[in-house]
Amino acid sequence: MPADSLRNARKNKADEFYTQLSDIEAELKHYREQLRGRVIFCNCDDPYESNFFRYFAMNFNYLGLKKLIATCYDPSPIAHTQLSFFDEEKAVPNRNRRAYKIEITEVGDYNGDGAIDLVDIEWLLRNKKNSLSLLKGNGDFRSEECIALLKEADIVVTNPPFSLFREYVAQLMEHKKRFLIIGNKNAITYKEIFTLIQAQRLWIGYRNINADMWFIVPENYSYERIVDGKRIKHIMGCWFTNLDTSKRHEVLPLYKRYTPEEYPKYDNYDAIEVGKVSDIPYDYDGVMGVPITFLDKYNPEQFELVRFRKGNDDRDLSINGKYPYFRILIRRKS
């Protein structure tokens, strides 16, 4: 997709939201050993306002990172409106150019106060040569410059624009990158994404996909709460990753017994309807239709993903003429 098309997609669909630091900390704590000694790339993050950059910069030594790279998009509709960690006038060369990158290979207690915080990161960016530089292009994740940085990276961690999620994941797969990213929960229903889940090339992170996720939104966007002076809105977000998790190896306890009365069959498909994940029967060996929330409990050693169905978009999945919105068809493994 050309840069102009990407720019229009971003402009026409306001879906660039800032992830709260608490949500990043809650998820990233599970991956510390997998991050150690790695080059981390945040390629949808203004380093001066992104909580992803803030988290990795302040925990650079604790995580044992080899390198941290962050790039911003020019012009981002939410840049310089929310967080503003540092005094950019002094730190960013030629402030009229918005696209730049930050590369960090070391972080120290530069002010000698006994702790590493944003003051030290700001000093680093102002005083260490080559840690901050302007990009020649617009900083889009599909630009040649950003693809070159992607090739250098070991793991990508960010919150990409939801409207470009398919394209974004496709690029990660093309370059065989490990990643931990946030997407809309409904992305599970995209054919391209479900195919990757089915092939065990992508799965859900630790956060329960039924749990609320609140994002910091631009000033001109509708919001539901104000927290610490920031406008936040509930969006159905969840973590997608191909980093291993202990969660996906946990066995889902099954306690219900199958009866034809409680588990009706679909009209035109040989499978039974299971309306709740907790109601999956332990003694049924055939195909079962379950909600997408099943993926939060999916253990590939316990279940097989057969296919997915979209209700009204696929007329052979109905019960007495009524169509469930979306069902994942699964089968227990013996």
pLDDT in tens, 269-300: 899 999 999 999 999 999 999 999 999 999 99
List, as one string, the DSSP characters of 88-115. Answer: HHHHSSSTT---EEEEES----TT-SSS
Instruction: Write the pLDDT tens digit of every residue in 228-281.
Output: 778 888 888 899 999 999 999 999 999 999 999 999 998 888 999 999 999 999
Encode pLDDT of 303-318 as tens digits: 999 988 765 455 557 7
pLDDT digits (tens, 9 = 90+) for 52-76: 999 999 999 999 999 999 998 775 5
Domain range list for the chain = 3-244, 250-332
Query: For 113-168, how does the pLDDT look when each residue is reduced to its tens digit (9 = 90+)?
Result: 888 888 888 888 878 766 888 888 888 999 999 999 999 999 999 999 888 999 99
Instruction: Tell me if residue 244 falls in helix, strand or coil.
Output: coil
157, exposed or middle or buried, with CB in 10 Å at 0-12, 13-18, 19+?
buried
pLDDT digits (tens, 9 = 90+) for 189-223: 899 999 999 999 999 999 998 887 888 887 777 88
E strands in the chain = 18-19, 39-42, 67-71, 100-104, 132-134, 155-158, 178-184, 203-204, 214-216, 225-227, 230-234, 237-241, 272-273, 287-290, 303-309, 327-332
The confidence band for 33, taking pLDDT boundaries of 50, 70 and 90, is: very high
CATH architecture type of domain 3-244: 3-Layer(aba) Sandwich (3.40)
Cis peptide before 75 (omega within 30 of 0): yes
Residue where the block lists tokens 């089968």: 331
- Segment 84-100 mean pLDDT: 54
Q: From CA 78, how far away is CA 149, in angstroms rounded?
A: 23
pLDDT at 82 (0 to 100): 41
What token pair was written down for 266? 């679909």
Residue found under tokens 């990660």: 172
Under DSSP, is residue 203 helix (H, G, I), strand (E, B) or coil? Answer: strand
Position 14 scores a pLDDT of 53
Q: How far apart are CA 100 and CA 86, in angstroms?
A: 15
